[in-house]
Amino acid sequence: MKAQITYNNKTYNIDLSKPLDISLSLRGDDKNPVAWYMGAPNIVPVRDGDFVGKVSEGASTNFNNIQFNPHAHGTHTECVGHITREFHSINDALKQFFFTALLISVEPEKWGEDMVITEELMKKELQKDRVDALIIRTLPNYIDKRSRKYSHSNWPYLEEKAAKYIRDCGVRHLLVDLPSVDKEKDEGKLLAHKAFWDYPRNTRVNSTITEMIYVPNKIVDGDYILNLQIASFENDATPAKPVLYKIE
């Protein structure tokens, strides 16, 4: 299905029948990716006396309870409310869902025991006012990102200057294939989050960070239209389904 999208006074041709899903699904078992020292999500049928919400056990419908943490258990989009004393909801922060986007693949630089996405790497890939959304795929890009256990792994992260550079280039929506844009154990500094949101000086309440995406290797670097889909949670973060469309 061919479509035209007009965005910032420019028209883009895309094929809606060829979506490129870069989200991770939520599973109720140990194959689900996990971060932040949590266990796996739990998806179980409701039990109430003799009733079990499962068709295979005699119910008329499948009727499950789901317990999970959006930050720890898969692709999620968060707003500045993730780091503020006052409440900000992602459902209020994100009111538009289609954006121009750039997908880049970068190999983080080794800094001692850390792997860091640096400002210099970003300067090679991103120019000012080019797109509204930046998608970062880290290399190597193994398929085990779909089920990786990230806790205590010291995953790669963004240098504070890199996050500031991304912000200064006009990017309003940042997507990464990591559990966080910040170092796993950073003493609560959250330097990249704060730099990207320009918190607390000129806080960008309508900018978002999406973490724990997965971009298959078959999707090539370049320009896309991003459809950033979220669940309507009144929370700092929500499960998300970012979908790319190739610009024709």
- pLDDT for position 7: 84
Q: What is the pLDDT of residues 195-218, one digit of tens each?
A: 999 999 999 999 999 999 999 999
Domain range enclosing 89 = 2-25+72-246
**DSSP-derived secondary structure for 59-117:** -SS--EEEE--TTTSS-EEE-GGGT-SS---HHHH----EEEEEEEEE-PEEETTEEEE
**Residue 61 domain flag:** no
E strand residue ranges, the chain: 2-7, 10-15, 20-21, 42-45, 47-48, 51-52, 64-67, 76-78, 98-106, 109-111, 114-117, 133-138, 157-158, 173-176, 208-211, 222-230, 237-246
Confidence band, pLDDT 50/70/90 cuts, at residue 3: confident
Whole-number pLDDT of residue 8? 85
What 8-state DSSP symbol labels residue 149? Answer: B
Cβ atoms 72, 82 nearer than 8 A: no
**59 domain residue, yes or no:** no
| Tens-place pLDDT, residues 77-94 | 999 999 999 999 999 999
- Domain-located, residue 64: no
Whether 189 maps to a domain, the answer reads: yes
Give the CATH number of the domain where residue 6 resides: 3.50.30.50
Beta strand 20-21 with 2-7: parallel, antiparallel or unpaired?
Answer: unpaired
Name the residue among 242, 216, 200 with its Cα closest to residue 77: 242
Residues 11-22 have pLDDT tens digits of 999 999 999 999
Number of domains in the chain: 1
The Cα 155–Cα 185 span in angstroms is 10
Residue 112 lies in a domain: yes
166 inside domain:
yes
What pLDDT is stored for residue 69 in this prediction? 98
Q: Write down the mean pLDDT value for the chain.
A: 97
Query: How does pLDDT run across 35-56, given as a tens digit for each residue?
Result: 999 999 999 999 999 999 999 9
Give per-residue pLDDT as tens, 168-179: 999 999 999 999
Radius of gyration (Cα) for the chain, nearest Å? 19
Residue 234 pLDDT exceeds 90: yes
* Distance set, CA 183 to CA 30, 125, 190, 193 (Å): 24, 22, 8, 10
Q: Is residue 230 part of a domain?
A: yes
